Structures are given as structure tokens and as C-alpha cells.
Amino acid sequence: MAKVSEFLRLFVGLVLLGMAVAVSSKFDQLFQSTWASDHLVHQGDLLKLKLDNHSGAAFGSKSKYMFGKVTIQLKLVEGDSAGTVTAFYMSSDGPTHNEFDFEFLGNTTGEPYSIQTNVYVNGVGNREQRLDLWFDPTKDFHSYSIFWNQRQVVFLIDETPIRVHTNMEHKGIPYPKDQPMGVYSSIWNADDWATQGGRVKTDWSHAPFFASYKSFEIKACECLVSVAAIENSKRCSSSVDRKYWWDEPTLSVLNLHQIHQLMWVRAKHMVYDYCSDTARFPVTPAECVHHHHQ
């Protein structure tokens, strides 16, 4: 009888897990157009977002999520991409929203792409970091991921961590863990700031510009719109009855190999870190004081 009860408990746990976790690779199952649907180009399994001098384009997830991992396979605008920005991000709603950003800043032909990340907590951002990539992101597809649990947010490129935002609530620093977030991507013209501080403008003779996608994966806890955020937070957190993979102790911090990877990225490829910008922040932001490899 005990074995039967244990089996039933396990079965119910697996059913609950299956209900909560969304896993898919099909665009139409996960996403929908949110801006300029006529600028979303479907070519078999390939999706392209188009930017021309009339409009950019964007898509967003049909559901919102709390904790887990989202990944896209992306190839960026080729050639002269100056002035263009392609973004991949997660965001909640409202003036006190949380947000995790990848922004890919185009450049003139032959110059490297820059990637900017940012973290908003309770509506406050200003946590920019910028990297030069160690590969040409216009020549092939690469995976870009955001991993999120109650202990850390990790930005990854091809599974290499490039940034970590750690939960330091014990230091009185707010952490984004109580708002369901949608998953989004977009392309738009930002030549007022994106390339060399806005000095290089978009050359529309090279338009249209395309960002290409070929795979999407959301392995995360899907939130119910009819349920309060605090209840979704409880539902998406492990308990006695259910164990979610993102709450495994091994995922509460980076492992040694990942720490070494992150240190390499910061040492070799970081070109801007808000933590070091004393002109903007005469007083070092609190999370920068307590955490040394964000």
C-alpha cells in the first residue's frame, strides 16, 4: 500500500510539473506578432523580422512565465547594420515592471556587433553592461538564453554565461521574483543612440534589414492569467509535492567551469560596465559592492 501511495504521489507530481512547464520549439505555439505582422516573414522553419524605413517588427509570447529558461536561435542583420537594434528580452507589465534585456547593437560593415544587457527591478534599470562578441553573429545562428530562478538570473550565449544578477535580498537589495514575465523579440531603428553613441546613422539604401530566427524554446513555469502573482510564484516554486528542475541546488550558483567562463568574458570582451561608471554613479550601486562577477 505504501508503494502504491508513493507511486500516486510521484504521478501527481509529474502531472503538476507537466501542467506548469511549457516546452516547445514552434513559433506559432509560443508566440504571436505584436507589431507590424506584415514585417514577420515565414520561410519554412525560418522566421525573419524585417526593418525598413516604414517600420520595424516584434513578437511576444502568448503566455507569461515565472522561473525557468528561454532560448532563441538568432542570426543578426548582415553587412552594414548601423543604427539597427535587435532585442531579445523578458518583461513583466506595469510601471514597476521587471525586465531582462539582450540588445544587439548594429555597426558599419566590418565593425563588430556590440551586445548590451540590462536588468530592471521594480521599474528601475540603468544596469547596462556591453560586450564585443568573440564571433560574428551575422554569419551563423547562435543560441541566446535567459535562465531565471529565485537565486539568480543568468544571461548565456551558446551556454556560456556572460552575466549574472544574484539575489541579494539579504542585503536589502530588491530581486525580481514575484512578477510573471513575457518573452519578446523585436527589431527597430535606434540610430539616435545605438551605433557609436548615435554618430553613425542608419543607411536606408541597405534596407530592408533582417534578423533571422530558427528555433525557440521556453522551458519555464507557465503562469495563469486568472491567478494573482503571489499565487503563481508559489505554484512555480518547488515544494514537498513537486520538484522543478530550476530549483535544483546545483543551479543556485554558477559551477566552477561557468565562473571561469564568465571571468574570461568579462576580462576579454567587456567594454562597458555600469558598476565602473563613476560619472553616472558617484556612489557605487549596492549590488556592485556585494557582487564581483555580475
Name the β-bridge partners of 41: 48
List all residues 6 or more positions away from 290 whose beta carbon is below 8 Å from its beta carbon: 168, 171, 173
H/E element holding 60? Answer: strand 57-61
Look up 217 and say whether it is catalytic: no
Options 78, 99, 111, 159, the catalytic residue: 99
List all residues 6 or more positions away from 239 whose beta carbon is below 8 Å from its beta carbon: none
| Whether the Cβ atoms of residue 68 and residue 148 lie closer than 8 Å to each other | yes
Rg of the chain over CA atoms, in angstroms? 20
Look up 169 and say whether it is catalytic: no
Q: What whole-number distance in Å separates Cα of residue 223 and Cα of residue 260?
A: 34
Active site residues: 99, 103
